Amino acid sequence: MRRLSLLLVACLTLAGFAPAAAPVTLYLIGDSTMADKPDPEHNPERGWGQALPRFLDGTVVVRNHAVNGRSTRSFIAEGRWDSVRVRLRKGDYVVIQFGHNDEKVNTPIGTSPAEYGANLSRFVDEVREKDATPILLTPTARRLFENDTITDSHGAYPDVVRTLRKQKKVPFVDMLEKSEQVIGRYGQDSSAVLYLHLPPGQHPNYPNGVDDNTHFSPLGAREMAGIFVDYIRAADIGLRAHLRSCPARS
């Protein structure tokens, strides 16, 4: 009995000194609609990735590599993808959302739908090579209405993502469809609060005001992040246990 007790004490002691499990890392790659914005205390613009950590507990590290103005092409060409890829470990996640700038085909960063799909496929394959999990997202909706109905401005690009996720059986969130539903719930006029809409004189960053139907207000970013959180809660991809029961205030 004494020997058993000593063994138990030894096991408990060793357990106390066992290294803690490495946190899960959630990488975000994309454009301005997802990116962190500088000076959040004074900047009224947010990317939805900026709002995501408040929904997750301390066992998840969010690394937001999304950058304003980037397409799949420029994100690769500038070495930004390689800087993420080399850091990936088994068990990590990579959330992939492009499209707003890929569809600008008359600019140096624009891509055809075919190139867009090839670049997304590369991201998926190279994430999986590291035993990490890719998650594909369609781009978020712009706030555009015709006859009181929200309209899509992304053309063929969302369907490229939808097709690829079926071909490669990738975890997937249709952010376009879900964000259109959020905008629809608010309605044509009230949905302006989700985006960067400010009258002249209200904010020093925009003395002449701003009417931006692409980029998000803090409320809009939280709503878009909530779409992704709802997916985590519903899907069996291993992140559900890392959600906060009560999201942190931010």
pLDDT, tens only, 148-194: 888 899 999 999 999 999 999 999 999 999 999 999 999 999 999 99
246 part of a folded domain: no
Structure token digits, residue 31: 């454009």
pLDDT in tens, 78-132: 999 999 999 999 999 999 999 999 999 999 999 999 999 999 999 999 999 999 9
> How many folded domains does the chain comprise?
1
Q: Taking the CA atoms of 90, 120, 142 and 227 in sequence, report the sign of the dihedral they define.
A: negative
Mean pLDDT of all residues in 204-222: 94
CA distance 30 to 232: 19
Return the pLDDT at 20: 54
Q: Domain limits at 221?
A: 22-241
Q: Taken in order 107, 113, 114, 117, is the CA torsion positive or negative? A: positive
Q: What is the mean pLDDT of residues 127-155?
A: 94
Find residue 135's DSSP bridge partners.
95
CATH code for position 211: 3.40.50.1110
- 101 part of a folded domain: yes
Phi, psi of 2 (to 5 degrees): -65, -40
Residue 6 lies in a domain: no
Which range among 72-81, 142-151, 208-217 shows the weakest confidence by mean pLDDT? Answer: 142-151
Is 183 part of any domain? Answer: yes
Where helices occur in 41-156 by DSSP H, the ranges are 48-51, 72-77, 80-85, 113-129
